[in-house]
Structure 1
Amino acid sequence: MSTYVKPVIPTEGRLGHLTVEQTEKLQQFWVRLYDIFDGKTQFDQTAPSSFKGQNRDEDTPAPAPEKKSGWFGRGKAAEPTEAPKEAPAPRFTGADLQKAFWKLTMMDHPDLILLKFIRARKWNLDDAMKMFLNALKWRIVERLDELIELSDVELEAKYPKFIEQMKVGKGYLRGADPLDRPMSVVNARLHHKADQPPETIHKFTLYTMECGRMVLPPSAETVIVVFDLSNFGLDNMDWGFVRLFVQCFESYYPETLGVCVVHRAPFVFWGLWKLIQPLLDPVVASKFVFTRNNAELHKVIPRDRLPINHYEGLDDWTYEYVPGTPDENAPMKDLVKKEEMINERHALESRFDAVTRAWIKNIDGQNSSERDEIAKELREQYARLTPYVRAKNLYQRLGVAHDGQVTWTYNVKA
């Protein structure tokens, strides 16, 4: 008998459930956003300081200021010819951010994206705008386009042992709960920090986040993450990954984490948790659920959505990495068709922009059905555009994500 307890998902402030006042706030946010895109409003064009040194091993303490010159302090002056030179900080224009915005949107309604940032900052538009612009800059700096445009083999060439992360099943997406929230499983016991370059696990984490967006259906806005800490030891701990995980769900993919299940945490974990918990925003911290055994896990995720092996579920399924084929990305090489599809996309974006600009001329808190219809066209068109701009990933090979649809299959055994 199932012990699953179906949660109630809040609708307040969500797309399709906005009050007049909330719709007015959304309209005002669009006004500010277009002023930045059009270059009418000044904004901080530099990358936030937190981006600097992002590839440094985060477990290595920063050198003491009095002994080191450079980013972390000014010690004794070195010879001019020997002084390390800091790479110039990138600067962003409104046009850069508008391009990043449309790439972020993908198959989502543009309002849905903005509302996540607005809700994350409790409807304070100044704070929400700062957060949103930082997220767009971050996506550019992190080269997230590259992660979806390169094949597995190409990612392996650029980031050694990238494919190995998938082969061992260190982290993967599997199934969805009855509310259609995709589930991401992280097998911490399989991770050893020294087994791969830090940049590889950093990029693999972001790659999984972007794959998760592809299997997020219109009926769901959030995901479930299961940290399986079975047989976890201190040698499995990676502070760099923890920081990235926290930053992603707090700052760059806000309002996306539905539940974070920490499963079978051993005694050694609780000392680490005392260090992790203060890093979390209270809202994100409230999403953590701790399950000591499979029976408790079945209350959060129904047994028919969990594998028989290891989780005592009902789904006769075992994770396996399916490699790509040599010709699976042939459409990306069809430059004529690719350009045609991209131009079609830009035309739809321009239509949405034009209707939105007309909509925000009168801040009246009324929804625009015309905008919603164009948003549906954007989702449909992205499904057709995908083969020309995205390399095929594991979840497309498995048939989970196909033609803009998300289909999980479960081999349920009684």
Structure 2
Amino acid sequence: MTTSTYVQPTLPTDGRLGHLTPEQTEKLKQFWVRLYDIFDGKTAFDQTAPSSFKGQAREDEGEPAPAPEKKGWFGRGKSASESSTASAPVAATARFSGNDIYQAFWKVTMMDHPDLIALKFIRARKWVLDDAIKMFLNALKWRIVERIDELSELSDVELDKKYPKFIEQMKKGKGYLRGADPLGRPLSVVNTRLHHKSDQPPETIHRFTLYTMECGRMCLPEGSETVIVIFDLSNFGLDNMDWGFVRLFVQCFESYYPETLGVCVVHKAPFVFWGLWKLIQPLLDPVVASKFVFTRTNADLHKVVPRERLPIVHYEGLDDWTYQYVPARPGENDHQKDLAKKQELLNERRALEVEFDGLTRNWIKQSGGKSSPERDAVAKKLREQYSRLSPYVRAVSLYERWGVAVNGQVNWTYNVKAE
């Protein structure tokens, strides 16, 4: 077998959970102080959603954005787009209370340590708390306006009914998660040659992109924070270009999922791409732009991702695997119908959230830049509890059908063939 050419990077630890300096811990405390002042209604904040939150697909179509829904933790009520207020512009109608922000915060936390979520935004804004808080609030409001919850609550079939040709995107394999590098970072593959903007409604590709982003979070093992995105530009042509997708991709990793992109590999870019790159590059934040890597050949790609983790087909890897969409199985979401058990688990979750809140409020009053073992212990309970709650509030995804992300555990398997 050919000697591996993979070069494993060293991931940064500065400012990460478990590696904070006393000064950084104090910054984190102050971030929580400001959050609780907003949650409690003590501090005024911009309660409206900027018009840019309409979403690129809707802006392009001239369709106004929906107002935020009023529903409970992972509720399945009528979506904002179906409500009578959907025709009003977001900037004029959306009003967010401190409690709305609080609920959105705990929804986005899922199985992660709450500090991990906060630190992503703090690092993204270079530890300037005013900027970090503003960015965090915008991201939470964006999740409400974009109805991000429905992407995990609804089944493939329900999403396809609401967004025509949604399942078609999955069947074609336009974008999917497959495997991880040795550091646990999931690999997200985007096959640009399979995409033609006019083949589906703009809103469908918009929602499918966000759906894949959310699935990526469930494929992050404990301790991993970032993903590797591989843009496969094999046979790419101008008819495959979609500026709406590019804008959404940039916005997501810069504003709504900060500190989540580990590496963005642009693979086998043809000559026509480089003219487009001159237009794309200025749109990128310098930090995001620094994460782009260009690989001209499969041999180049093997230096970024081990051959054992790459499929034989297309990438000359050693993994005998071919993408296949596995459709939903009858009854796979029956847990969601057990309302009594669901409510029991939601009450249990709420109790842990309240416990974490209480410990945090006490912690931020203490002097000294020390962490709180008690808070960390509750965060572990939250992760374990979410693995039990998840089947009752999330529809089964393709990755669960593959056996990858099940009950909070991430397990990629590779069928490695000798060369």
TM range (shorter): over 0.9
Is this contact kept in 2: 1:57–1:240, CA < 8 A?
no
**Counterparts of residues 276-355 of structure 1 (less than 5 Å):** 276-355=280-359
Deviation digits for residues 128-149 of structure 1, max 9, x if unmatched? 0000000000000000111100
- 1:396 corresponds to which residue? 400
Structure 2 distance, partners of 1:42, 1:52, is 23
The answer to whether the 8 A contact 1:21-1:365 is kept is yes
In our comparison, the structure showing a higher alpha carbon Rg is: 1
Cα pair 2:56 2:247 within 8 Å, conserved: no
1:23 aligns with 25
C-alpha distance in structure 2 between counterparts of 1:303 and 1:86, whole Å: 49
In structure 1, what is the Cα distance between the partners aligned to 2:362 and 2:39? Answer: 16
TM-score normalised by the chain length of structure 2: 0.92
Do the aligned partners of 2:56 and 2:248 also contact (CA within 8 Å) in 1? no
- The 5 A counterparts of 1:80-229 are 86=89, 88-229=92-233
Q: Does 2:269 match 1:265?
A: yes
Q: TM-score, normalised by structure 1?
A: 0.93
Aligned-partner residue type, residue 19 of structure 1: T
Q: Look up the SS of the partner of 2:58 in the other structure.
A: coil
**Deviations along 1:196-254, whole A, 9 cap, x unmatched?**
00000000000000000000011211000000000000000000000000000000000
Partner of 1:258, secondary structure, is strand
Aligned-CA RMSD value: 1.5
* CA deviations over 1:15-36 (Å, ceiling 9, x no partner): 0000000000000000000000
Q: Is the 8 A contact 1:57 1:198 kept in 2?
A: no
Residue of structure 2 equivalent to 1:4: 6
SS at match of 2:254: helix
The alpha-carbon deviation at position 327 of structure 1 amounts to 0.2
Deviations 1:272-309 (A, max 9, x none): 00000000000000000000000000000000000011
1:75 aligned residue: none
Unpaired runs of 5+ residues, structure 2, are 66-86
**Secondary structure in 2 aligned to 1:210?**
helix
Q: 1:365 — aligned with what? A: 369
Letter in 2 for 1:50: S
Q: CA deviation at 1:49?
A: 2.8
Distance 2:314 2:141 in 1: 41
Match of 2:39 among 12, 37, 40: 37
Equivalents in 1 of 2:222, 2:13: separation in Å? Answer: 14
The secondary structure found in structure 1 opposite 2:149 is: helix
Contact 1:229 1:264 survives alignment (8 Å)? yes
**Structure 1 residue 50, shift from structure 2 partner:** 1.3
1:44-97 alpha-carbon deviations (Å, 9 max, x no partner): 000023114644353x7x9xxxxxxx99xxxxxxxxxxxx97563301000000
SS of corresponding position for 2:294: strand
Alpha-carbon contact 1:305-1:314 (below 8 Å) kept: yes
CA contact (8 A) 1:27 1:363 kept: no
CA–CA distance in structure 1, aligned partners of residues 59 and 307 of structure 2: 39
Listed one character per residue, the Cα deviations across residues 303-355 of structure 1 (whole Å, up to 9, x for unaligned) are 00000111000000000000011200000000000000110000000000000
> Are the equivalent residues in 1 in contact too, given 2:51–2:89 (CA < 8 A)?
no
1:381 matched to 2:392: no
AA at the equivalent of 2:332: E
Q: Is the 8 A contact 1:180 1:220 kept in 2?
A: yes
Task: Report percent identity of matched pairs.
Answer: 78
CA distance in 2, matches of 1:357, 1:313: 51
Which whole-Å CA distance do the structure 2 matches of 1:328 and 1:151 have between them?
10
| Structure 1 contact 176–305 (Cα < 8 Å) conserved | yes
